[in-house]
Amino acid sequence: MEKLKYTVITGASSGIGYETAKAFADRDKPLILVARRKKRLQQLKQAIRQKNPNLEVLIFPVDLTIKENVYQLFSDLTIYELETWINNAGIGMYGGLRTNDLQKTEHLLQLNIEAFAILSSLFVKDYFSKAGTQLINISSAGRYTIVPNAVLYCATKFFVSAFTGRDSRRIDCCWCQHASQVISSCCHQNRVRPDSSEHGYL
Ligand SMILES: NC(=O)c1ccc[n+]([C@@H]2O[C@H](COP(=O)([O-])OP(=O)(O)OC[C@H]3O[C@@H](n4cnc5c(N)ncnc54)[C@H](OP(=O)(O)O)[C@@H]3O)[C@@H](O)[C@H]2O)c1
């Protein structure tokens, strides 16, 4: 029997990750869902299984701001065959350097940059030569411009886009043989979610 090929989605407990999980489930893709809130992941799994009872859905409640957890997560997933890795987990932040909470700043860097770069690298190392695999990184309109009251957040999304490749939409970059995509999840005027500015997203 052919091994299941999973789609991993980080930040699947709400927002874009949650909806992405449902969209991949609709395409019968077995899922590995990652976020901190276990209950939300369980609810999502239940909702997906109601519609698609035979679909394999695994949940991994993990705080990705902790570096050891990031490596442990990837190590735990080596027993599964992966097809798609979606780096979606991210937090936003408004404010200035003088007023920003330093702990939040650390979390922003740990999640939006460190965990993102480590997971991308681990995935590419293992799946570079496997046909049909893809890495999808969620960026932001903030990758085009530095918004004065969201400099750090924009800088993290510049990082995501620069790391993933030069072209904004789709790239076949040198370190990923197959496909690697950077997706800007909103355009300048239309936010993906009406409440996105409360989260500090652009
Ligand atoms: N919404 C927008 O308009 C917009 C615009 C541009 C870009 N984006 C980007 O799109 C992505 C998703 O945004 P969203 O609007 O869907 O946000 P959201 O609803 O706040 O979802 C963020 C997800 O990340 C997870 N997460 C947060 N901290 C985490 C941590 N320490 N460890 C593991 N998971 C963590 C959250 O789950 P838990 O809290 O359960 O951990 C949640 O599932 C982000 O990368 C964001 O920068 C969003």
Query: What is the distance, to the nearest Å, from the Cα of residue 167 to the centroid of all Cα atoms in its chain?
Result: 19
Tens of each residue's pLDDT in the chain, 202 residues = 789 999 999 999 999 999 999 999 999 999 999 999 999 999 999 999 999 999 999 999 999 999 999 999 999 999 999 999 999 999 999 998 889 999 999 999 999 999 999 999 999 999 988 999 999 999 888 777 888 889 999 999 999 988 887 543 443 333 344 445 555 443 333 345 545 545 555 5
* Ligand 1 atom 46 nearest Cα: 90
Q: Shortest CA distance to 20 belongs to which of 88, 83, 74, 77?
A: 88
**Residue 56 in tokens:** 């394999």
Q: Check if CATH label 1.10.3470.10 holds for domain 5-199.
A: no
Q: Whose CA is nearest to atom 18 of ligand 1?
A: 15
C-alpha distance from residue 5 to each of 2, 31, 181 (Å): 9, 9, 19
CB contact at 8 A, 145 and 155? no
Q: Ligand 1, atom 43: nearest CA belongs to which residue?
A: 11
Q: What residues does ligand 1 touch, defined as CB less than 6 Å away? A: 11-17, 35-37, 40, 62-65, 88-92, 111, 138, 140, 185-186, 191-193, 196, 199, 201-202
Sign of CA dihedral 50, 35, 168, 165: negative
Who contacts 174 (Cβ-Cβ below 8 Å, separation ≥6)?
A: none
What 3-state DSSP class applies to 61?
Answer: strand
Residue with tokens 């750090």: 152
Atom of ligand 1 nearest to the CA of 141: 6
State whether the Cα torsion 164-116-13-55 is positive or negative. positive
Q: How far is the CA of 184 from the centre of ligand 1 (A)?
A: 13
Tell which residue, 89, 79, 114, 76, has the closest CA to residue 37: 89
**Contact yes or no for 171/183 (Cβ under 8 A):** no
pLDDT of residue 196: 52
Q: Domain boundaries in the chain?
A: 5-199
Q: Which helix (H) or strand (E) holds 39?
A: helix 38-51
